Every structure is written in structure tokens, then in C-alpha cells.
Structure 1
Amino acid sequence: MPMKTLITALLLSAATLSASAVAQVDRYGYKLPPSMQQKKKKPAAAKKKAAPAVDYTGEYVNFGDWQEVRAFLDDVAARDGFDRAELSTLINQVRYVDTAVQLVKPAPPGKPKNWQAYRTLMIDAVRTDAGVKFWNDNAEALQRAESLYGVPAEIIVAIIGVETVYGRNTGRFRVLDALTTLAFSYPEAPQRRERMAFFRGEIEATLLYARQTGIDPLSLKGSFAGALGMPQFMPSSLMKYAVDFDGDGKIDLLNSATDAIGSVAAFLTSHGWQREQTGPIVQAATVSPNRAWEPLLQQGLKASYRPAELTAAGVSTATPAPDQLYGLVDLQNGAEPTEYWLANTNFFAITQYNRSYFYAMSVVELGKAVRLARGGAVASGM
């Protein structure tokens, strides 16, 4: 995609970094996942040249001459037993990707976030129809994952739909290019040093994964932030949480929908999903004019309050909430009134996939839409 188009999409969406363990952003931020950032080009006429294999321009930069890069490679070689000379040869083939730098820059200040606009982008006929087909094609794997991990099929389906439209757009950036660029040339932003440390860890995870699987690390393609496969796992998440759910002896998140399904469920379970939660994941809430509830918005990405505590602070719901822990979630709507919701522990498990209220809410909403379009009632706990 041309740079101008990508930057325009960023400014319009006011988005956060995608998913499977990348973003450390504030609770309002969101950035569209690869499925919305990298739109497919129209098929070329038969006589025309095929489209290039990548949709970014990687500029040659001699990363091997950078002191920080050399020190990092020294550490990785010593810690993981890599041949230092081979790492030098590899890093000399890595390109600088300005697109990645532009996309991780914070959104312009003063631009209001808009949940309803984001929802319109994420819960559409394309994703819903594709979700129905994906569910029908993978019903056995989804049922097995739900039984084993306790994560409803619609949540798994929705995450893969939001991330890549069921594998239609898994990203075309060379993973090592994107990760190295962000690890050593992250733009000025809050927590810049922490973000660069994160991406350096992802480079190391990529090298370990490539060695373990016997693949060329430069062959890996993914998002502008280095996320991989249908569910857009970062390399470290792939190493920790991905599972061989189809039993073929290897983990393939790019080509195996079954592995992607099992891995999403395993990730959520490892990050706090509880099968025993009752009632809906989210419930619309009304807040009192005295604003005694405002401190409840600072609980972080976790459920911390019992219904009685919420009621005492001036938060109410149309039907009584089950006696379990909740968080108060605020979804800004631009110039329109903010929406308030009670969210249970499983909502916050989804935010560990992508640290954004908008993202988690879109997963819940798309899951409902796909289940209803498929002709089923919304499952208990949705």
C-alpha cells in the first residue's frame, strides 16, 4: 500500500498497535489491525506484471554498523548459542522500514476517539459473512477448542476475523525488517525505551523460532509490527502460547486454521479467560450525574469491583449483574455521549490480546453478529 494511504488510514482511525502482545497503549487508543491497514490490490489484467511480493519499500541501512545492534547481537549469540558471524551476515540483509515507524507514532493530540465509527469498520458484512463460512468450515476444531479451553467459538472466530479477515490479509512485511526497525529506531513517544526493548525481545524470539523450525528468518512475512499468521501472534507469543491443534507435528498459524483456532483459545486461557463466568461479557451501564464512579475507570485492564460496589458508586444496569468481578468501561463516541459498560474478567482477557477497549468490544460484537448470521442464539456468557 502506498505510504500516503497508510498514513491517511492512521490519522483517520486514531488507532493502536495490533494484537497478540504488541501494544502497551492507553485504554482509549486503537490502531486498525492488518486486515484494515493493508487492503488488497485489485487483480491485475492477465497481460500485466504481477504485483510485487511486498507492499512496502525497505531502505537498505547497514544495521551491522550500529553500536547498539552489535551489542545486542553479541548478547543474543552468547545467550542462545548462535554463531556471531552468521548473525552479522543476517543483519546485513535487514532493511529499514519507514512505514513501520510512521504507523507506531502516537495519534495526533486532540482528535476524539469514536467507538461507533470503529465499530462500523470492524462489524461489517464482509467479516460477518466470512465468519459464518470460517465457522462452518472449522466447526469441529472450534467445538474442540471450546470444550478444551472454555472459550466460546464466536470469540475465537471474531478474533481471527478482526485480525486478518480469516487469513485474507496476514501482512506482507518481512518480520525481521519491521522488528529491527522498531527495536533500534522507534520514534519519540512515551515509553520509547521500553518499546524498543520489547521489539528486541521479539527479534530474539524470531531467531529462536527460525532455528527451531529450520526456516530462513528472512522468509517470515507479517504485519508492520512483526505479527504473524491468521491470529497475528508476535513471535514470542507464538513460542509461548501457539499449539499444534491439528496434530500434524508442527505449528502453522499461517496455513492451518485449526492451529490458529487452538492457539487463540490457548492464549486467552493463559491470560485470564474463565469458563465459569456467568452472564454476558459486557452489559450496558448507566452512570449517575454526581460522577462518584469516575475513580472506577482507573482500575486498569482488569475486573476489580463487585456489583454492590458499582451500585454504591452510582453505576446501574437494566438487569442485575451476577455476583462476580467487573470493570467499568468507557467508550468515547467523538462529539456524541460516551457509552459506559460493565465488563467481566473475560472482556479483560481479550484486552491482553490487544490492549484496547475498542478492540475487545469489537471482538464481542463481531462474535455475536457471526453467531446470529449463522442462525444460532448468542451463547450464554456473551
Structure 2
Amino acid sequence: MTASPKLPPFDPADPLGIDELLDAEDLAVRDTVRRWAVRRVLPDVADWYEKGELPGIRELARELGELGALGMSLSGYGCAGASAVQYGLACLELEAADSGIRSLVSVQGSLAMYAIHRFGSEEQKQTWLPRMASGEVIGCFGLTEPDHGSDPASMRTYAGRDGGDWVLSGRKMWITNGSVASVAVVWAQTEEGIRGFVVPTDRPGFAAPEIRHKWSLRASVTSELIMDDVRLPADAVLPGAVGLKGPLSCLSHARYGIVWGAMGAARACFEAAVDYARTREQFGKPIGGFQLTQAKLADMAVELHKGILLAHHLGRRMDAGRLRPEQVSFGKLNNVREAMEICRTARTILGANGISLEYPVMRHATNLESVLTYEGTVEMHQLVLGKALTGLDAFR
């Protein structure tokens, strides 16, 4: 008889053995970003969140640039040219620290830099991308408006030609990085359809007041963009994008990062719940020894690692050039929704301590309320999948 192969030990941190799907470079990227987040973000993020600020954001951006995390999956122009899976692993580790840090990276790389990289002129790429990749320049992405969130086709921001120039007017809302950005990619109606513009934020008529009184993404800079007859040269327009397909493709790229990032928030809450359950005693023993607590932990682990496996699968499809927008919607819908449930369940295990900033659970839970909405609400992703499944359009 042939002897049965010796099974590897069960790893509570990786119960499905997903790490075996990663190569040495993948693991190195993940571990490098994790070490940075643990050292640079975790010691202070609770205070940042409580105060509703992200101090030293420019220094953080430069450090993230040194890590190669900005525009990470883009090639050339100082970008790291990492795989989609490696970018996803970085998003997971950043959001395990805080959603606001992952949002900083996502908006910089997957929205502003991606738009310039994919749709910009060579001059625009050379002017902006190397400095954005290094973190010297922070960018933002202006699509959502005060009255037009899920329906960007109805945007009111308008750019018209005036001689050889463009004149841009309108407002954008809920813009991550807006108040600290040196460049904004702004989408506007024109006579030719929706176009994207590369807007230096020091232009006369441009303002970006910060939005205050947030109870989610508090360790993040969120702003309104106000354009009042901002005059731009003819070459400010992104030549490769006409219509909604341009900004929507940027959003799809950013949503992919969220598929991974949401699992980072979920993992942080799950780990906090496991640690707490092992040490918190009630009725004479650790609460982790009670059946109901173990049932909660088992369900959380199943959904967490299913979500990571889903993210990994979508990453491999993206690397192969086979990832469809509907599949990204599938991932965001599932992973953010399950991450929120994991956070809520973790809160019940921690009891009253679950609402304290001494633990990460409530911070992640409130952050995920924003993640659930931005880059497409639950309802929009349900309708994307509904249309794909039935062939019938329920949007209008």
C-alpha cells in the first residue's frame, strides 16, 4: 500500500490554504505593505478617526510611493507594473489598517492615475504620472455630483470651448483627496459628449473645501470640488475618452481594489473577535469555549475566506485580461456586504467593548457603510447582475 501523504497542519489564519496560490513575489508584496501599515498607520489611526483628520497625508503619500503602492498595477512612468493580484493584496492590507488609507491609494492609482494612463496624451502622462507614482503629487477624481450620484449621465458640470481654451464650471461631491490634490481628473458634459479634463487645482476659479461632520471614513480627506469658469488649455482634455465608458472603466478598476480591501476590514474585525473570545471570561471560562460564540466565529471565517478566494479568482482573471465589469460587480456586492456582517458579528462578540476605539471593530463597521455606497451602491450592482442574468435592463 502507498502511504498517505502527510497533510499540512490546519492554519487558523489561512484555513483554505489560499497562501499556496501565491508565489514568492506575491507574498513579498503583501508582507511589505502589511509591515508598513502596522508600523505607520495602526498606532495612530484610532486617534485620527476620533479627531476626524488624516494628518501628514502628504508624507503618507510619499511613503506609499516609495512602497510602489500608487498606480501599482500600471506600467511605465514610474509605476510598479505589479500584477492585479499583488495590487489586490496591497489593498487588503491597507484596508485592514483603515478604509481611509486604502481609499487614498485607490483614488490616486485606480481613478486619477488610471484615467491619465489609459486615456491621456503622452504629454499628460509624462507630466503627471511619475510624480503621482512617487507620491509627490496627490490626485483626485471628480465624477459624483451633489444631485447625481448613481446617474452620472445626468451630470451638470459643463465644459465649453472659448477660442482655443476650455471653460469648466460645476460642482462635484464626496471627492476623496480633493482638498490636498494638486491635480483633479474632472468629468463634464461637452457638445461632444462627456469628456475628462486634467485640471491643476491651482487654476483660478477652482476650490476644494473639505467636507466635515462625517461619521464614516473619518481618517480620510473628503471634499467638494467647485469649478467657477475654470479656464483650461485645449490640451487639458483626455483625448482617449468620449462618453461614459471612460469614467465607468475607471470605476471598475477601483471597484476591483474594493473587492480585496473589504476583506481586509473584515479580517481585522475577525482577528479582534478571535483574540477577544480566547481571553474574555464569562461564567468561569473564555467565551470562545461556548458553542454560540464558536458558531459565530466559524460563520465569519467561512465568509471571510470565501471572499478572499473570490477576490483572488477575479485578480487572476484581470491578469489574464478576462475580467468583465459584471464580475467586478459580483465581487463588490458580495464582499462588502459580507464584510459588514462580519464586522457586526464581531461587535456582538466584543460586547460593549465592540464600540470602543480601543478595538478596530466599530471603526471598520462605520467605514464600510461608505464603502458599501461608493463606486456603485448595492442596488446598482444588483441591477448590473440582474441585467447580465436576464438580458433585461431595469435601470430605466
Q: Which structure has greater strand proportion?
A: 2
Q: TM-score, normalised on structure 1?
A: 0.27
Q: Which structure has greater helix proportion?
A: 2
Q: TM-score, normalised on structure 2?
A: 0.26
